[in-house]
Amino acid sequence: MAEKDYLKEVSADGFYDILPKRQAVINKASDKEPQYEFNANVLAKSLHPKVQHVKVSDIKELNGARVYTLEPDLSKETSKLAYFRAGQYISLKLKIGDSVLTRPYSLCSSPKLALSGKYRIVVKSMKDGFASSYINKEFKVGTTIDISEPSGFFEYEPLRDAGTVIGLAGGSGIAPFMSFAAAIADGTEDFNLTLLYGSRTEEEILFKDELAELEKAAGGKIKVIHVLSDEEKPGYEHGFINADLISKYAPDVYSVFVCGSQGMYDYVEGECKKLGVKKRYVRFDAYGQYRLTARDAEFTDAHKDKTYEITVIKNDGVERKIPARADEPILVALERAGIEAPSKCRSGECGFCRAKLASGEVYTPGKVERRRQYDKETGYVHPCCTFPKSDLRILINYEKPKIERKVKDMKKKERLMGLIMAIIISLAMGVLVAVLIPVISPQAAESQPVAIRFISNILMSVITGIIVAFVIPLGKLGRALANKAGANPPSFKFTLLNSIPLAAGNTLIVSLVCSFFGVLMGRSHATAEALAHMPPFVIMWLSNWGKLLLPTLVVSYILAVILSPVVSQAVGMADAGAEVGRAASGKD
């Protein structure tokens, strides 16, 4: 086949047609800006919704626990559930009596189930369990709940974790491992899971049948070993999950994932050290509220049975004083008092409850001290795992309102500056118009004494300028113009651009009004013969306005450039803008 010569088909004239053709296509397009969202933003919103409205669609009884299936509450505009990683949790928002609180519960279903609009959680009623007892008593099919996006970092990462995970679960800590197992069985996750599941008795084992089914479905990638502490039975390990038991089932290289009680975490940490497992291979799930132990003896001995007073300042700026026990986290005191405070993990991991400590002393156990260095230096705390050591003042959800108040303060000062500049410019224009009237409109000048002419023009200019300042946001327009050009105060470029609307807006309207009344006064005092030789009123008005416009515009702009920085400094406009910047960046 002969090679085709494409160059022969190229026309030199075709290059001249490119621009006309492109312009023709542009002309055919709609003049309305297309309304769309970037795919990345759509995905981010679907994965991280601010709140998910769900309802209970199914309840399954399970050996002293209940498994709840949650589906979107379509009546509240939640049409689908956010996808999650196996091992993550959701936080339920609950209203129990006067208390508003949250509780985190690990998702115990495969992430694939979320694609069909379902989450599953397991809630085991605990002794003295305030929230768990309420949920298992009050939740019914149809109960509606607000939940958070899926959160947490208890997830498998192939670049970080070994190919085999030794899962150590205790009691209801089996929940995230159910999610891992289901995800492995359906192909969502790809790693080997050897699960050591500790229970007191065979009867207390949760998901026993489901685990057996998943073990079969996973084709050898899942192995489940039940460990009973209070019973000895064939087919079960007996005792506690310790270093010997882990080494019995572990390969040469493995990661350890742990989910259970706080006491279990402390014990397992020591066992992993015995085995020489590197820290990078050991992962602990967030276990909820921290309880003071023997390691906190120095704090508990000094503050035993003490109750302190916390002054809470919320986003409305209203202060409220509440009691707080030294042996409970600050968050518990807030919830008991009916104060709605943000929280998710309740163990210091997520930082969602972050609050500003204005005064007082607190204690944060080293086990749950996960604050950033900046937060430590600037007095931010995590109320979910911080205990009071004295009376406190604490700011909850305060950053956004603080910025809003500073913005409002800046806008007030901006309006004040615009008003002052309008008065100054109008005053100068009134004087200038009174000086120019004899030249522009001799008839108007002859009809008034000099003093009256000056006073009337000054008053008329100032009143008009004040009205303009209240009706038209000239200061805002000036700032927008300067910002668009990338100019910031106190640069000279900012002053030049910011002064344009201040000068032009006042000049155009004030000179229009002054010329109107000047012509009106001149014609009212003119003789009939003189009036007959005058052009129509509108022509005279616009003519006089044109004569006044240039000199008044030049003078008002020069005044605006010279005086606006002085006025800005005098009313505190520059300081207010700086405060907004600091508040927005979190440096205040």
Query: 377 pLDDT exceeds 60?
Result: yes
Distance in angstroms (rounded) separating the CA atoms of residues 557 and 501:
9
Residue type, 505: G
CATH of domain 164-284: 3.40.50.80
- Whether this model's pTM surpasses 0.85: no
Mean pLDDT lowest among 164-168, 379-383, 563-567? 563-567
The CATH number of 294-397, from 3.10.20.30, 3.40.640.10, 3.30.1330.20, 3.40.50.2300, is 3.10.20.30
Distance in angstroms (rounded) separating the CA atoms of residues 401 and 242:
51
Distance in angstroms (rounded) separating the CA atoms of residues 251 and 453:
102
Distance in angstroms (rounded) separating the CA atoms of residues 406 and 581:
9
The residues pairing with 181 across neighbouring beta strands, listed in sequence order, are none
| pLDDT level of residue 405 (50, 70, 90 thresholds) | low
Quick: pLDDT tens for 97-112: 988 899 999 999 999 9
Task: Compute the average pLDDT of residues 134-156.
Answer: 96
| pLDDT level of residue 353 (50, 70, 90 thresholds) | very high
Distance in angstroms (rounded) separating the CA atoms of residues 537 and 88:
79
pLDDT value for 495: 74
Distance in angstroms (rounded) separating the CA atoms of residues 512 and 453:
17
If we measure between CA atoms, which residue out of 175, 111, 367 comes closest to residue 167?
Answer: 175
Task: Compute the average pLDDT of residues 330-340.
Answer: 93
Phi and psi at 323, nearest 5°, equal -80, 150
Q: Output the CA–CA distances (angstroms, integers) from residue 548 to 64, 81, 99, 411, 507, in the order listed.
A: 89, 67, 69, 32, 9
Quick: pLDDT tens for 110-136: 999 999 999 999 999 887 788 999 999
Distance in angstroms (rounded) separating the CA atoms of residues 486 and 488:
7
Q: Is 121 helix (H, G, I), strand (E, B) or coil?
A: strand
Question: Which comes out higher in pLDDT, residue 4 or 403?
Answer: 4
Q: What's domain 46-147's superfamily in CATH?
A: Translation factors (2.40.30.10)
- Domain boundaries of the chain, sorted by first residue: 46-147, 164-284, 294-397, 401-585
Average pLDDT, the chain: 84
User: Residue 91: enclosing H or E segment and its boundaries?
Assistant: strand 89-96
Distance in angstroms (rounded) separating the CA atoms of residues 156 and 406:
44
Q: Is 528 exposed, middle or buried (0-12, 13-18, 19+ CB in 10 A)?
A: exposed
Tokens of 237: 């390990």
pLDDT value for 586: 44
pLDDT value for 449: 76
Q: Which letter does DSSP use for residue 351 in this model?
A: -
Crossing angle of helices 573-585 and 399-440, in 10° steps, is 150
How many angstroms from the chain centroid is the CA of residue 274?
43
Is residue 91 a contact partner of residue 286, using CB atoms and an 8 Å limit? Answer: no
Query: 293 pLDDT exceeds 70?
Result: yes
Q: Do domains 164-284 and 294-397 have the same CATH topology?
A: no
Task: Dump strand ranges (E) for 287-368.
Answer: 307-313, 319-325, 355-359, 362-363
If we measure between CA atoms, which residue out of 450, 416, 403, 432 comes closest to residue 557?
Answer: 432
